[in-house]
Amino acid sequence: MFPRPATQPSRPEFVAIATVPMATIALAIDVMLPALGDMASEFGVEDNKRQFVIAALFLGLAFGQLIFGPLSDGIGRRPAITAGAALFAIGGAVCATATTFEGLIAGRLLQGVGAAGPRIVTVALIRDRFEGAAMGRIMSIIMGVFIMVPVLAPSVGQGLLRILDWRDLFTLLSVICVGGTAWLLLRQPETLPERRPFRIGPFADAVAEVLRDGKAMAFTMAGGLCYGALMGYVNSSQQLFQETYVAGDSYSLLFGAAAAFISAATLTNARMVGQIAMDRICMWAVGSLLVWSLFVLAFWQRSGRCRRSGRSWRRTVRPCSCWD
């Protein structure tokens, strides 16, 4: 259907081509956040069940990466990305036409599996074309765009919900994904020089090697726990801001402001990692996060006790005897 390009696109065009699928995945997460309340209301689900709309995408994404990595080595980068984009679009159609909450979750799972194709194979495509500092610069540009999406996407989603139904957001995401894939197929030739059919033996050996490396497993578990905490915040942010704190449409701005700090921290880390040992940076970051979390928890408990006692912590220096 699509002709095979004879030449590689220029570097700026390649960066743009590679950025679209990465940004689409971030949009699939964050642009949906303002619509979670509408979804829960339409399907009549309990408050916390709406979080499955986000969690299902991550579950599918995690599972899909195990599939599309070896698949792209066996059939090529372009076919693997195409297959992932097709699954993503089908999942979007399932979500857009869902008549039950279970159907919506099934569509999100399928979306997540499909999103793994463009997500992981795009990185492999970059590695095929570039190496060393050149690869690092391109990945930095792409990740710079990727981390800015959470800052803007909720506001975009909030704005779109003023003129569109939440179901239309899934259709829009599918159109963006299919359009980006078509651009890739029209302009980017295959980059895998030699197919490597999947074999369970080498795959199992690689998994066993990772499992035997104690340091690698320790950092993997620590990273997973930290990332899990972040995802817990993302899942519950709509309820937290719009319902607990009654932020209304300001939710998208508050979420974007928090995401901006995360983006700034990511860019700061990119500068520090060349000057300070990475494990030391991790220890400092986790330690600071723990101290700050304990402070916020203590403040939240104090204010909660004061509210239950009928006294306002906003109007007094010592609002109650919670800390006495």
* Whole-number pLDDT of residue 274: 66
pLDDT digits (tens, 9 = 90+) for 258-306: 888 877 777 777 677 667 877 788 888 888 888 988 988 888 777 665 5
User: Which residues of the chain have a pLDDT value below 50?
Assistant: 312-324
Residue with tokens 């957001």: 169
Q: Does residue 281 contact residue 273 with C-beta atoms inside 8 Å?
A: yes
* Whole-number pLDDT of residue 322: 40
Tokens representing 248 are 């209304």
- Single out the residue of 149, 154, 70, 67 nearest to residue 115, CA to CA: 67
In CATH, the number for domain 11-193 is 1.20.1250.20
Q: Does residue 64 contact residue 187 with C-beta atoms inside 8 Å?
A: no
* Whole-number pLDDT of residue 167: 95
**8-state DSSP, 98:** -
Q: Please state, in angstroms and rounded to a whole number, the distance separating the CA atoms of residues 7 and 157.
A: 37
Look at the pTM and tell me if it is higher than 0.85: no
Domain boundaries, the chain: 11-193
pLDDT digits (tens, 9 = 90+) for 131-150: 877 777 787 777 777 777 87
* Whole-number pLDDT of residue 315: 40
* Whole-number pLDDT of residue 307: 54
At 51 the three-state DSSP class reads helix
Helices (H), the chain: 11-30, 36-43, 52-75, 77-96, 101-129, 132-160, 166-187, 200-212, 214-239, 251-272, 278-308
